[in-house]
Amino acid sequence: MIQLKTNRDLYVAIQDLCRTHKTQVPDEVDTNLLTRAWRFLTGQTKNGGKKFHSRDLEEYLRALWQGAGRFRDQNSLSLDEFYGLIASAYTDPAPPFRESWRSSQATIGTNDLAACLEVKMGLKAPTLEDEDDEVCRFEEWERFLIGQIVDLREMSEQGILEQDGIWGGVESPRGHSWYNFSTPSYLECATQGSFGGWISGEDEGRILTLGPSVAAPRNPVVDLSEIRWEDFQLFLACGQYYE
């Protein structure tokens, strides 16, 4: 059984989880070496698909939504409960998409995206200790997740997810920015953006690219005793937006 205590433990465990649940599929032959190299780095095939197949992100999030329901009366999750929920959403049956979700108050919170951007730009270190934050309950987390499910469904219906270059970022029909569209990239960015845990120089996970306004990320190893719903909501936001 995996023993998780820190953000580093969580990052490594989720990376291992993503590797376990993806299988490589043949890419189309492309004689252009530069094109082949670019598609390898971005995880794309010649026709714009993913080089690796994993559980569809919308389907994954529907399974995550259903699994989280059993914790709705808790104020927080233990780290083991949180990881167990992330892991089981890869294999648990996903409930069908509900058309009523389109007309519900399913929205992406701008505050969560702003907090994610602050971490990305090195302006704010990830923290779980700000007691002044407004308490988020399961219902707020649920509305946020349903908003992401609706976004993914509508982007798929309009062919946005089949377009070339989506990994540079696209806008959903409801006006929300998206940068991650596969389950592995969503989970890796969600983990690093909200909790940290990646170490510069690792062979897998991400590449550190610094620019004039982007500082090197501060990633101290910290204990994670609990995951509050507001922490979990920021996790979802970074899955969507963090790079």
Report helix angle 138-157 to 57-68, nearest 10.
Answer: 160
Give the pLDDT mean for 108-123: 56
pLDDT for the residue 199: 84
Distance CA 58, CA 184 (A): 12
Question: How many domains is the chain partitioned into structurally?
Answer: 1
Q: Mean per-residue pLDDT for 140-149?
A: 93
Give me the domain span that covers residue 93. Answer: 7-241
Is residue 131 in a domain? yes
Give 121 or 170, the one with higher predicted confidence. 170
- Distance between CA atoms of residues 140 and 167, nearest Å: 28
Is residue 2 in some structural domain? no
Look at residue 203 and tell me if it is in a domain.
Answer: yes
**pLDDT cut 90: percent of the chain above it:** 52
Instruction: State the average pLDDT for the chain.
Output: 78
What's the rounded Cα separation, in Å, for the pair 174 and 212?
Answer: 32
Whole-angstrom distance, CA of residue 243 vs CA of residue 227: 22
Alpha helices in the chain (DSSP H): 7-20, 33-42, 57-68, 79-88, 100-103, 110-120, 138-157, 183-194, 229-241
User: Does residue 194 belong to any structural domain of this protein?
Assistant: yes
Does residue 1 sit within a domain? Answer: no
